[in-house]
Chains A and B, each alone.
Chain A
C-alpha cells in the first residue's frame, strides 16, 4: 500500500521557507515536484490503494475458504471454484464432498461476511463524517439495534418465515434503522451543534431502550424461534442463502454508490455544517441522503447477519488519510476483509462448534474503542 509518501518528502521544503518567511523565490523549484507528488488525492493513489486492498481481500478470502473443520487445500479449492465458474458439476468427482462444503457453506459465508463487513464499515465512515465523530458507527449509535428491532418485529409477526422474507426483512430492518438514526440525531443535536459525547450518550441510551424492546419481543416468541433469533442477534454469518445475498448485493451496490458519490461533500462536512454550506454543499440534502443510505445498508446487513460492531474506519484513516473519497471505499474493503477473517476465527477456533462472529469482532474491536476513547481523548474534546 502506498502511504502518502509526499508526507516524507516535505522536510527540505519546510526548512527552506522557515528562514525566509517573507521572501520567496518567484519560481519555486518545488513546483515541479508539487505536480507529481501532490499533497492531495490523485487518481493514481486512489487506484493503487484500492488495488492493493482488493488484493489483500482476495488473499484473505482464499485463506478463509481454505480453513475450517474440513481440510480443503488451496489447489482443490481453486479447482472447485474454477469448475463451478465454468458451470461444470463437481459433485460427482473425487472432490464431491469438499465441493459441497466449499460452494454451499464456505463460499456464501465468505461472500456474506465481505458484503456485511463492507457495508457496516462504509456506513461507519459516512456517519463519522456527518456527525464529526471518529467513534460513530452504526452499532454504537444504536442504528444496528434499531434495524434488529425492525427485523425482530417482522419475525414476531411471522413475516420472517414467509416467501417474501428476503425482501421484507431488510425493509423492516431499514425502517427500524432509519427510526434509530433520526432519533439519535435529534437527541444529540442541540441547537445546531453536535457534541461528541452527547452523541455517544444518545447512542448508549437508545441502544439500551432498543435492546430491552428486542428482548421483550424474543421473550414472547415461541422458544424454538426465539433461540434462533437470539443467535442471530449475537451476530452470525452462518447459513446464508444465495437469493437473500443477491438482495444484499443489490442494496450494497446501490447504497455504496450513493455513499461514494457523497464523499466530496462528506469531506467538507467534517468542517461543520456552516463551513460546508459556505463552500457549496447542500447540507440538508447530503445529510438526508447519507442517513437514509446508512439505514438502508445497515438494515440489509443486520437482517442478514444480526448485530456486528467494529471500529474499522479509524484504523484505515491512520493509513490512507482523511479524504473520504478514498477512505470510504478503502474502509469498505478493509471492513469486509476483517469480517471474513473474524468469521474464519469464529468457526475454526472451537471447531466443529462455532461462536457468533459478533463476539469475535466485539472482543477485538471493543478494546480498540476504549483505547480511542481514553487515550485520544484530547483529540475528541470538541
Chain B
C-alpha cells in the first residue's frame, strides 16, 4: 500500500476547520463542558491512500466518517471531495464516489443478502432511466453485485435473509454492498469488529488489493491499533474531537503519544514479519512486578 503515495495528484478529501455537534447535545443531554463532537479539524485524505482514524471511545471517529459521507452535516467548516464542496452535491452524486460501511447494520425486514448488496447499485441506476418507474436492476448491476459477494465470501448466503445470518456475515454483506457501489473512496467504521481472524484477514486483503489495483482511497476508523498500524499509510489520532496527531504509523504508534491520549500504559514493539510498530497492553504480571 505504501507505494501508492506516488499517485497523489489531488487529495480525495480536503477538510477545513470542520466542527460538528449533535443537535441533542445542545439540549443539555451530556451536561456542560465540551459539547462539540468534533472541533476545528483540518486535514487532507490523499487520493489512493489508506488513512486510519484512531482514538479513544467518544473521540469522534464515527462522527467524522459520517460527515465525510455527508450523512451528517457540519455546523462549521468545509469538506471538499475531489476538489468540489460536498455541501451542494446531490446525495446520489456523493454515493457514486463514496461508500460508507457503518459500524452496525440493523434490518428488521426479511431482505436477502443479495437484495441488500444490490442496494449498492441504487446511486448508479438513480442516474439512468428507470424501468417501470421503479428502477429494477439490469444484468450489469447483478454482475457487479455477484462479484462483490464473491469478493467478501457471502455469495453462498445470497438467498439468506440478512436478519438471520451472523454479525460477521452481515458485516461482510455490507462491505459487499459498499463494493457494489463502485466508490472511489471507501469509509469503514470498525470494519473488523465482528469478524473472526480469517475474515479479518480477508477484508484487509480485499482492501489492500482494491487500494493497489484501482487506487481506491480508504478511510477506516478502528479501535484495533495493530490493524491500523499494519494496513494504514497514515493514521489520524483523535482525542476529544480534536486532531491529536496525524502521521505515519511510525510516528503515531509510540508509547508517549498513545499514553497521552488513551491515558494508560502501553507496550510498543515490532511486528515480527512487517517490522511495523505493534501495540500490546501490559499483562497482569506487570502489577505483580511493581508490587514486588
Contact = CB atoms under 8 A, between A and B. Distances in A.
Contacts of A129: 109
Interface string B256-267: 000000000000
B66 interface: yes
Given A24-B150, A43-B131, A325-B136, A18 B156 contact: yes
B155 interface: yes
A100 interface: no
A274 to B, nearest CB: 5
A134 B108 contact: yes
Contacts of A196: 108
Interface in B104-135: 105-112, 114-116, 118-120, 122-123, 126, 131-135
A196 B146 CA distance: 33
A137 to B, nearest CB: 15
A279 B123 contact: yes
Interface string A115-152: 00000000000001100111000000000000000000
Interface stretch (A161-169, A205-213, A316-324): A316-324
Contacts of B106: 271-272, 382
B78 interface: no
Contacts of B105: 271-272, 275
A35 interface: yes
A382 B132 CA distance: 33
Interface string A1-18: 000001100100110111
Given A264-B134, A271-B119, A40 B156 contact: no
A242 interface: no
Interface string A259-283: 0110111011011101101111111
B198 interface: yes
B203 interface: no
B168 to A, nearest CB: 13
Nearest to B150: A24
Contacts of A275: 100, 102, 105
A41 interface: yes
Q: How many of chain A's residues touch chain B, expressed as a range?
A: 35 or more
Given A38-B142, A43-B136, A134-B109, A17 B96 contact: no
B213 interface: no
B136 A268 contact: no
Nearest to A31: B146
A325 B134 CA distance: 6
Contact of A323 (B90, B95, B102, B115): B115
Contacts of B69: 277-278
Contacts of A17: 153, 155-156
A280 B91 contact: yes
A271 B99 CA distance: 15
A217 interface: no
Contact of A261 (B133, B145, B156, B198): B133
A379 interface: yes
Contacts of B122: 264-265, 267-268, 279-281
Contacts of B156: 10, 13-14, 16-18
Contacts of A43: 131-132, 136
Contacts of B163: 379
Nearest to A24: B150
Contacts of B90: 282
A139 to B, nearest CB: 20
Contacts of A18: 156
Nearest to A34: B146
A231 interface: no
B124 to A, nearest CB: 9
Nearest to A277: B71
B17 interface: no
B171 interface: no
Contact of A280 (B72, B96, B102): B96
Contacts of A128: 109
Contact of A191 (B24, B94, B145): B24
Nearest to A14: B156
B285 to A, nearest CB: 37
B229 interface: no
16 contacts: A7-B159, A28-B150, A39-B112, A40-B112, A40-B142, A129-B109, A132-B108, A278-B98, A280-B93, A280-B94, A280-B96, A280-B126, A282-B90, A317-B110, A323-B115, A325-B136
Given A279-B119, A280-B93, 12 more contacts: A13-B155, A13-B156, A35-B139, A40-B142, A41-B136, A264-B122, A267-B111, A277-B91, A279-B177, A280-B126, A322-B112, A325-B136
Interface of A: 6-7, 10, 13-14, 16-18, 21, 24, 28, 31, 34-35, 38-43, 46, 128-129, 132-134, 191, 196, 257, 260-261, 263-265, 267-268, 270-272, 274-275, 277-283, 317-318, 321-323, 325, 379-380, 382
Interface of B: 22-24, 66, 69-72, 90-96, 98-100, 102, 105-112, 114-116, 118-120, 122-123, 126, 131-137, 139, 142, 145-146, 150, 153, 155-159, 163, 177, 181, 198
